[in-house]
Amino acid sequence: MATLKEIGLELGLSPATVSRALNGFPEVSAKTRDRVREAAERLGYRANRNAQRLVSGRSGMVGMIVKTRADLRADQTFMEILMGLSAALADRDTDLVLAVDQGRDPVAAYRRMLERDMVDGFILNAPVMDDPRINFLREAGVPFVLHGRDRLDADYPFFTIDNYAVAAESVQLLAALGHKRIAFLNGPVLYSHAVRRRAGYLDAMARFGLPVAEGALTHDEPSEAAGYRQAVSLLAGQRGAPPTAFICSSTLLAEGVMRAAKDRRLSVPEDVSVMAHDDDLPLLRAISFTPALTVTRAPLREACIPVATALMDLIGGTDPAELQTLTRAELVVRDSTGPAPRNGDTPWP
Amino acid sequence: MATLKEIGLELGLSPATVSRALNGFPEVSAKTRDRVREAAERLGYRANRNAQRLVSGRSGMVGMIVKTRADLRADQTFMEILMGLSAALADRDTDLVLAVDQGRDPVAAYRRMLERDMVDGFILNAPVMDDPRINFLREAGVPFVLHGRDRLDADYPFFTIDNYAVAAESVQLLAALGHKRIAFLNGPVLYSHAVRRRAGYLDAMARFGLPVAEGALTHDEPSEAAGYRQAVSLLAGQRGAPPTAFICSSTLLAEGVMRAAKDRRLSVPEDVSVMAHDDDLPLLRAISFTPALTVTRAPLREACIPVATALMDLIGGTDPAELQTLTRAELVVRDSTGPAPRNGDTPWP
DNA sequence: CTGAAAGCGCTTACAG
DNA sequence: CTGAAAGCGCTTACAG
C-alpha cells in the first residue's frame, strides 16, 4: 500500500499537499491536483482508515442492535436491510457494528456500546410506539437515525414510508372496485407502523361508509401460516359474513391467504381480491404470485442509502430537522384484485 | 475516554509502562501491574482501536461475503452464524465486514476487498465441492477459515461437523428400529456437506443390506414446502413402496414431512418415523415439534467461536494444520422415531 | 499555493 | 523493572 509520503516523494511534494490534493481542498492548484490524483491512481493508493480515524477522533463505526424476536419474517427483511446498510455505509468508509439484544432491558445493549465508545452513532429499526430506545439515546445526546418513526411529532432524523397511506390507499382501491367487506391482516400492533396502518384502514373504511366487522382487522406475525390461519377463519364466516377482499401487511400473509382461498375453491380475483404491502424482498416477488399480486410497493432496499446518509450527515453536524423523510409507497395494480363478486353487495352490519 | 498518558500522569508512570502493564507483559512488576489496572478501571480506560491498528499495521477487520441465493433457509442459518461470529470477533476486538456477492464470478467480491486492503482475512461458509474461492484465496496467500470443508484432504483451517456420520448414524438408528425403507431428503447436492451426507447415507444403507429405491434419495432446497412435496410423492408410492422412515437434512424439511404424513392420516412415529439434522436455530426448535423431533444436533451457534478463534490465530501466525476441527453431531432421540410398522418388513427391491 | 511541524493514541525496540 | 524516543499514516493550524 502506497502512503501519502511515497506519493509526495514520487512527485517532489510534501505529504501535506498530497493530502490536500486528494481531499479536494480548493487552495491546491489544478495542475498539482491532477498530478497527485494520477500518481495515487497509478500507485494504487488507498487512505489508511485507521490513521484517518485516529486523527479525526471518530471510531468510523455505527451501531445497529438487533432484537431477537420470534418473528420469522424478521430474518428476511432484516437481512435485506443489513446488506443494504453495509453497502451504503461502506461507500462512506464506515463500518456497521452489529450486536444482538439478548435481554429484557431494551437499552442495555446501547448503553454498553456507548460506554465503550465504540460507535459514532446508531441506526434503529422496527420502532414500537414511544420507543424507550429513542428516549434513551436522545438524553444521552448520541446521533441516531430511525428507519421508521415512533411518533408523529418526531424531532429526530428518520426515514419512513407513510404507513397510514399504505392502508388507506389499499382500502380506496378496493372500495372503488365495489368491495364492501374488506378485511385487513395487519402486523403485530406493538410496532408503530402497524398502529399507523390500523388507523389508515379504519379511517378509510369509515370514509367510505363501510363498517368493520369484529375480527376483520387482525394483528398477527407476518408469516404464511398466520395468513392462512386468519383467512381460513374469516372465509369460513366464523366472524360474520366472509370478506370479499383482503389487505395484507406483508406478502407472506398474502401467500397464506391465497392458499386458504384455494383450499375453499375460491378463485382470485373473481371470488376474492387479495393485495398486500410489499417490501420487495428478492426472495419473495409479488409479481411471481399466481395471480400476480397487487401491492403497495416500497423496496426496503431503497431505504438503506437515505438512512445511512442521514446518519453520516447528522454526525457531520447537519440539523436533525433537515434529515426527516416521509415517502409514499407506490400502488402497483396487478391481477389479484378485481371487481367485487355478486354476493359481496352487503356491507358488514 | 482516558488515554495511556493520562493514566501514566495519574500514577507517575510513562505511557510505555502503562501499555505494558495493561497488555500483561511479564517484565512489569506485579505491584505496578495492579496499580495500573486499578487506575484504568477507575478511569474507564479503553484502548483506542484505531491507534492500535495503525501501529500494528492490521485493519482489525475480517471479511465475509454472502452469496445471494434463492435459498430461504439461508436467511435463518446465515443470521445465526452472523450474530455468533460478530459476537465472537468482537471479543477479539475485530470487526466483521459484510459484503454481498452479486455476480457470476465467485471470487470477484474477494478480489475487490483484497485490493482495497480492507481486511486481514476471510471467513467462508457453505462451500461447494472444490470451491473456487478457496483456490483463489490460497493462491493469493490470504488467511481464511472455512465453516465446512470443500474436500476431505483440506490443508486449510476449517471447522465442520462430520456430515458423513450425520447421515450414517441416522440410518443406523432407524435400521436398529427395524426400518428397511428409509428415505433421505438431502440438501442441494451442490454443497459439499450434502455430498458427504449422501455418501454416509448410501454407505450405511449398503452396510445394513438395504437397497435404496430410485427417488428415495432427493436433493432439494431446505424448506417446509420442499419437504412436503417430496414426502407427498414418496408416501403416495409414486417411487416404489412408501418409506417407513424419513431422514431430513434440515428441520424445515421435517416440518413438511410431518404435514404430508398428517394429510395422509399417518401418525408419527407409529406409521412413519421422521428425523432430521438440527442446526438448533432459536426460531425452529426440534423439541417443539409434535411429536418432539429426533435429531442429530449440532448448534450452528457453537461453531462461531471456534471459527472466529481459528481465524485470529491464523492471522497471528499459527500453523494452519493445527486449526482444523472435525466434530460430531449429537444424536438426540425423541418421540418422532419408533419401531418400523407391520407393513414395513419388505426392503426396496 | 505549498511546506514544516505538531499531534491523534498507541506499541516497541533500545537504553539503563 | 521502567523510561525516552521513534514511528504507524494521516490531518490541519500556522507560516510563508
Helix, strand, or coil here: B161? strand
Mean pLDDT of chain A: 91
C-alpha cell, B328? 460430531
Nucleotides of C under 7 A from a protein CB: 1-5, 7-13
Q: Residue type for A152, please?
A: L
The answer to whether the beta carbons of residues B167 and B200 sit under 8 Å apart is yes
Residue A72 pLDDT exceeds 60? no
Q: Which of A61, A75, A91 to mutate to test the interface with B (most CBs of B within 10 A)?
A: A75
Q: Encode chain B (349 residues) as per-residue pLDDT tens digits.
A: 789 999 998 899 999 999 999 988 988 898 899 999 999 999 888 888 889 888 988 888 899 988 766 455 556 787 788 888 988 888 888 888 877 776 678 888 888 788 777 789 999 999 999 999 999 999 988 999 999 999 999 999 999 999 999 999 999 999 999 999 999 999 999 999 999 999 999 999 999 999 999 999 999 988 888 999 999 999 999 888 999 999 999 999 999 999 999 999 999 999 999 999 999 987 788 999 999 999 999 999 999 999 999 999 999 888 999 999 999 999 999 999 999 998 888 999 9
C-alpha gyration radius of chain A: 25
The answer to whether the beta carbons of residues A211 and A349 sit under 8 Å apart is yes
Specify the DSSP class assigned to residue A292: P
Q: Is the CB of A54 under 7 A from strand D?
A: yes
Mean pLDDT throughout A230-236? 96
Q: Is the CB of B199 under 7 A from strand C?
A: no
C-alpha cell, B70? 434463492
> Rounded to whole angstroms, how far apart are CA atoms A336 and A294?
6
* H helix or E strand, kind and range, residue B77: helix B72-90
The answer to whether the beta carbons of residues A122 and A59 sit under 8 Å apart is no
Portion of chain A with pLDDT greater than 70, in percent: 97
Express each pLDDT in A7-53 by its tens digit: 998 899 999 999 999 988 988 898 899 999 999 999 888 888 889 88
Q: Tell me the pairing of strands A294-297 and A273-278.
A: parallel
Gap from A133 CA to D5 C1', Å: 47
Backbone angles phi, psi at B198, to 5 degrees: -55, -50
Q: Is the CB of B21 under 7 A from strand C?
A: no
A290 or B67, greater pLDDT: A290
Instruction: Label residue A91 by pLDDT band (50, 70, 90).
Output: confident
The answer to whether A87 contacts B100, with C-beta atoms less than 8 Å apart, is yes
Express each pLDDT in A116-163 by its tens digit: 777 899 999 999 999 999 999 999 889 999 999 999 999 999 999 999
| Count of pairs with CB atoms under 8 A, one residue in A, one in B | 78
- Specify which of A106-115, A244-253, B24-33, B59-68 reaches the highest per-range mean pLDDT: A244-253
Residue A84 pLDDT exceeds 90? no
Q: Which of A48, A50, A68 to mutate to test the interface with B (most CBs of B within 10 A)?
A: A50
Q: Give chain B's domains with CATH numbers.
A: 4-47 (1.10.260.40), 61-161+300-328 (3.40.50.2300), 163-298+331-344 (3.40.50.2300)
Helix, strand, or coil here: B264? coil
> Is the peptide bond preceding residue B269 cis, with omega within 30 degrees of 0?
yes
The answer to whether B95 contacts A95, with C-beta atoms less than 8 Å apart, is yes
> Rounded to whole angstroms, how far apart are CA atoms A85 and A98?
11
Nucleotides of D under 7 A from a protein CB: 1-5, 7-13
> Rounded to whole angstroms, how far apart are CA atoms A296 and A276?
7
Express each pLDDT in A311-325 by its tens digit: 999 998 889 999 999
C-alpha cell, A276? 398486500
Q: Is the CB of B42 under 7 A from strand C?
A: no
> Rounded to whole angstroms, how far apart are CA atoms A159 and B96?
26
Q: Is the CB of B305 under 7 A from strand C?
A: no
Q: Name A145's Cβ contacts closer than 8 Å, sequence gap at least 6.
A: A121, A122, A123, A124, A156, A157, A158, A159, A307, A310, A311, A314, A323
B283-288: long-range pairs with CB below 8 Å, 24+: B283/A70, B283/A72, B283/A75, B283/B76, B284/B76, B284/B251, B284/B252, B284/B255, B286/B251, B286/B254, B286/B332, B286/B334, B287/B334
Residues of A in contact with B99 (CB under 8 A): 86-87, 90
Instruction: Label residue A74 by pLDDT band (50, 70, 90).
Output: low
The residue behind cell 428476511 is: A76
Report the pLDDT value the prediction gives residue B75, as an integer from 0 to 100: 64
* CB count in 10 Å sphere of residue A102: 11
The answer to whether the beta carbons of residues B166 and B277 sit under 8 Å apart is yes
The answer to whether A54 contacts B59, with C-beta atoms less than 8 Å apart, is no
The answer to whether the beta carbons of residues B244 and B347 sit under 8 Å apart is no
Residue A68 pLDDT exceeds 80? no
Nearest to B196 by CA among B277, B106, B272, B304: B277
Residue A75 pLDDT exceeds 80? no
